[in-house]
Each structure stands twice: as structure tokens, then as C-alpha cells.
Structure 1
Amino acid sequence: MSYSEYVAHYFQLPQCIIFALLTGVLLCIVYLIFYLYAKGTKKNDDYFEQEFFSLSERYYELIFSGGSIIGFMAVYFLINLFLKSGPFKEIWDSYKDYLLLIFMIISILLNSFLDHVLVRLKHLDREAMASIRLTGMAYMILILCYLKFIYESANYDTLIAYFLTLMIGRFVYFDASFKDFLNCIKNAAANIPIMIMALVNLAILCAYGYSTGYLLKHNGVITNIFFVHLYVIVMIFILHFIPVRLVAKKKVKKLEGAKKTSRPPRERREPRPRRRQQPEIEDVEEEIDIEIIDL
């Protein structure tokens, strides 16, 4: 298939709209789960808001980091698949390891663009951001292991070893103590439920795409997974305003309710009459002097 045929296939109606709607429905289900969890564990309104947006933004970052990595992997795979001959083939064979490093840098820049420009993540500190990105690497390892052992593809052995090395490097670094190591594992483990939800949504979308023929098998599984992530990223950009408005609307309603149920104003008391001021000592002395003179 040519490039124009690929574009015509993936933007063919109504398959494109149905796939986007399914992606949006799954994202709304994720919002609902986060909402119910934050509501069940809330201590006050501020805690509820922080917990809900923290969960949502961790999900966003997991998709952004995973999608960025899968993107350059898909490019790497497609070049190996379709580049058969020519001068660029010789350059690729000679310098593909260095080009892979360049692709990795581009994926990091793309990730920063997604979480700083496209959808600004305001409720995650550096520690939370680092932990969810580490979870994103585990997310990628699971996808690659699926391709290796279940899909039985040997095209990703180099990439699996590459990402295992990166993941170990994130866990262990030169000045890390054992306490830092345990803290890193603990923070990453707290994001496992979010990773499971992302994997379930990915599996549903891929199963639907393959069953309807919308996702093309000869493109490679990794390419189709990247294509699914593109849909999820687009729907995140479209729908991430909805939870913000819902939470803000809820807070406004609570404030209005608090005004309606406020205590009635107290009855005004009549002011007490002021006591007559006693004459000053000097005035009393003057009156006594005048009486003595009269006598």
C-alpha cells in the first residue's frame, strides 16, 4: 500500500469516528473510576480535587510517555521493514544505533511537549512525575514481552534489552542509596492500578481494531499500538476539560448551598442608654469654692 492508501484507510468514515468514540468512552470510564475513588477517600473538598486530578494526570503521563517511546519504536520498525535498498539503506545499516539514540531524544522532547504544552500537568510534582515515567517503562516492557512471548515475534529482542537497561538505570544510579531504591520502587508500585487500566483500554481498542479490520496487521503490531496511543492522546486533549469543569461546578454548588443554609441574622438589640458622665473633679472644686465665697 502507498502512503495515500494508508491515509485513506485510516481516515475512512465511519470507522474513524467509531474508533474515536470508543476511545472517548473508555477514557470517560477511567474518569469515572478516578472520581469514585477520590470521592470515597476524600477528607475535604481540596483533598478530593487534588486526588482526582493527580490520578488523571498520572494516567495522562503514562499514555504520553508510553506513546512517545512507542512512536520512535514504530518508526524504527517501519524503517527496518520497508527500507530494502538504496543509499539510505546503507546509511541506516551503518549508523542505526546512533539514529536510535536520536529517536530516543526526539521521543523525550515529544513527551515534554505533550505534558507541558498540549495538556499541562499542574498537580504532579517531580517525584510523582518520575515515578509515573518509571511505571511507563514497565508498561512498555510488558507490551514488548507480549510481542515476544505471546505474539511470538523476534523483531523486538534488541528493543527489549534496550528498555530493560534503561529501566534498571532508572532504578539504580551512581549516588543512589538503598533507601532511595526502595522509595523508587514504592512510588512506582503505587501506579500499578493505573498501568493496568491503560493496558486494559489498549487491549480493548486493539481487539476492536483487528476484529473490524481497521488496524492493519501487516503494518506491525507496534505500529498499530502507536496508532491507538495517538487516538488516546487526541481524546485526552479533547476531553481533559470536562473533569475540570465538573469539579469546579461541584465546588460552586457547595458554596451556594452553604450560603443558603447559613444561620439567620441575629436580632438587633436596642442600644442601652448612655450613663450620664460624672462631673470632673475640677468642676466640683469650682462649685465648692463659689459656695464658700457666697457664705
Structure 2
Amino acid sequence: MTIKAYLNPDFTLGKKLIFFLVCFIGIAISLGLIYLVAITVLQRDISGQRKKLALNNAFVNKVQRFFEMLIAGTSVLSFSCAYVIINHVNHLVQTGVATNLTSREKMLVELWAEGKDFVLLLLICLSCVINTILDMIIIPLKKITKEEKATIRMLAMFYVIILLMYLNRIGDESEYSPVMMYYFGLMIGRFVYFDASFKDFLIALKNMFFNLPYLILSLSLTGLLCYFGFYMKFLLERNYFIVGIFYTHLFLLAGIFLIHIVWMIISAFTRPRRTSVLSRSYLIK
């Protein structure tokens, strides 16, 4: 049992480019919706010369929160996907379907059987590291605060829980329920920690409520893209839907990275002149 079993051999380069283009268009439409919302809010609250500057700041902040939702969602989903694949392979070994294992594969199976909880903890830590690398180094999001990032990351867990709840209805419940319980535990710990006050709890709820639109937008975008991918047979149904969903998020990350590169190029050409606030936000400091 190798990783090739979870790949679609018919997903050729041409089909990947088509799927990437569709994902990129989906991101562009989402950014357009965010821009319309920013304009609507500012037209009601601000007028005059400050409007353009405020619009740029608001748009960049909202876009980066949306990007953080997708980045954090991908990182959390990587843990879920890894768990499902490892657990599936272990099940095949235990039932005798997978045979002729190498010494290394046998060692990994024994490690999973004896220290499953520790492996899961390691995977959770790795997903956090991946999240940090993505939103601080590869696609730096510097226009949102640490508190905003923390709130979005917490919502990303709920984002994945919703995906897993849907998968439970169409797949094997035993594959996803343990992962959901881990996420529920992490979310409860985020709300109720040992030195938290009731005021802290209310603030966390308030921050989560104000960022719910990004959760809804991300779920809508992911759902439409996954439907397109499975309908066009770009993604495989036989190897768990969660693997296809994870592939979709990888394409979304590629689209976000391309947008980041475009902003860097625009900023480089406009650097001698006065750089706009929107361009400066995507420069790597």
C-alpha cells in the first residue's frame, strides 16, 4: 500500500491546469465579493478623502483573514487526511489485505498500534508548524493581528469539523469521528482554559462571531470546487472524499500563492512611485 493508491492516474497535467484555473477563478470571485462588502460598509460609515485609504486597509484586512481561513483550514485538514490514510493502511494490515511489508513499514504499523495517541499529537503539532510556515514565510499575512489569526485558526477547526460532519453522512463514520473529537477538545480548550475569565470567554465568542462570514465563504468555495472536481472525475471517490478535499485545498493554496507573487511583481514595478497600501501589504519585509 503506497501513496500512489491515493492518487488519480487519470488526473493529467492538462486536467490539473484546468482545475487550478477553476480554483483561481473561485478565489477571484471571492475577492470580488469581499471588495463589494468593503465598499458597502465604508459608503455607509466613511465619506471624503479618507475613504480610499480606509477602503484599501479594510479590503486588505478582509482578504488576509479569508486567506488565513483557507491556509489554516488546509493545515488542519492535513492532520485529518494523514489520520484517515494511516488508519486505513493499518486496518488493511490488521485484516491481512496488505501483506509483504518492509521492515520500515512494519515498524510504522507497530508504532501506530502501540502509540497512536502520541502520533496524533505529533501530527497536530506538525499541522501547527505548517500553518505558521505558510502564513508567515511563504504567504506572509502581516495586515492581521495575532489575535485575529488565533480566532481564524480556531474557526478553521470548526471549518474542518463541518466538513467531517458532512463526510460522516456519506462515508464511514468510524473514520472521521475520532478526528472530530480531537478538534472539539481543542476548540473547548481554546474557549475555556485554566485561567480564563467569563469576560475572556465572551470576547472569544465575539471575535468568532465577527469572523463567521469568512467561514461561510470558505465552505461555499470549497464545496463548489470539490463538487466540480468529483463531477469531472479529477478527484477519486474510492479513496475517501477527504483526500479529494485536501487536494482541492492544495490547489487553493497554489492560487493564493500566485496572487501573492502577482502583488510582489506589481509592487516591484511601482516602487519608485508612491506605493499603494494594497500593494505594500503583500511585500515581504
TM interval, short-chain normalised: 0.7 to 0.9
CA RMSD of aligned residues (A): 2.5
Matched residue, 1:191: 211
Give the structure, 1 or 2, with the largest relative contact order (CA under 8 Å, sep 6 or more).
Answer: 2
* One of 34, 48, 52 as aligned partner of 1:45: 52
C-alpha spacing 1:82/1:179, structure 2 compared with 1 (3 Å): same
- Pairs within 5 Å for 1:281-292: none
C-alpha spacing 1:167/1:237, structure 2 compared with 1 (3 Å): same
Distance 1:241 1:47 in 2: 24
Matched residue, 1:143: 163
Matched residue, 2:110: 90
Distance 1:79 1:196 in 2: 30
AA of the residue aligned to 1:31: L
CA-to-partner distance for each residue in 1:88-127, whole Å, 9 max, x for gaps? 3222111111011111111110000000011111111122
Q: Does structure 2 conserve the Cα–Cα contact (< 8 Å) formed by 1:10 and 1:16?
A: no
AA of the residue aligned to 1:70: L
- Pairs within 5 Å for 1:104-253: 104-151=124-171, 153-242=173-262, 245=266
C-alpha spacing 1:127/1:92, structure 2 compared with 1 (3 Å): same
Distance 2:112 2:198 in 1: 41
Distance 1:10 1:193 in 2: 36
C-alpha spacing 1:60/1:110, structure 2 compared with 1 (3 Å): same
Gaps of at least 5 residues in structure 1 are: 255-295
Matched residue, 1:16: 16
SS of the residue 2:175 aligns to = coil
Gaps of at least 5 residues in structure 2 are: 94-105, 277-285
Count residues in correspondence: 252
Matched residue, 1:30: 30
Distance 2:222 2:132 in 1: 22
SS of the residue 1:154 aligns to = helix
Distance 1:150 1:175 in 2: 40
C-alpha spacing 1:72/1:5, structure 2 compared with 1 (3 Å): closer
Higher-Rg structure is 1
Q: TM-score, normalised by structure 2?
A: 0.81
Identity %: 33
Question: What displacement does 1:4 show?
Answer: 5.4
Distance 2:4 2:124 in 1: 28
Question: What displacement does 1:82 show?
Answer: 2.4
Distance 2:10 2:129 in 1: 26
Q: TM-score, normalised by structure 1?
A: 0.78
CA-to-partner distance for each residue in 1:124-180, whole Å, 9 max, x for gaps? 112211111121111111111112235463311111111111111111111211111
Instruction: Confirm or deny that 1:78 pairs with 2:85.
Output: yes
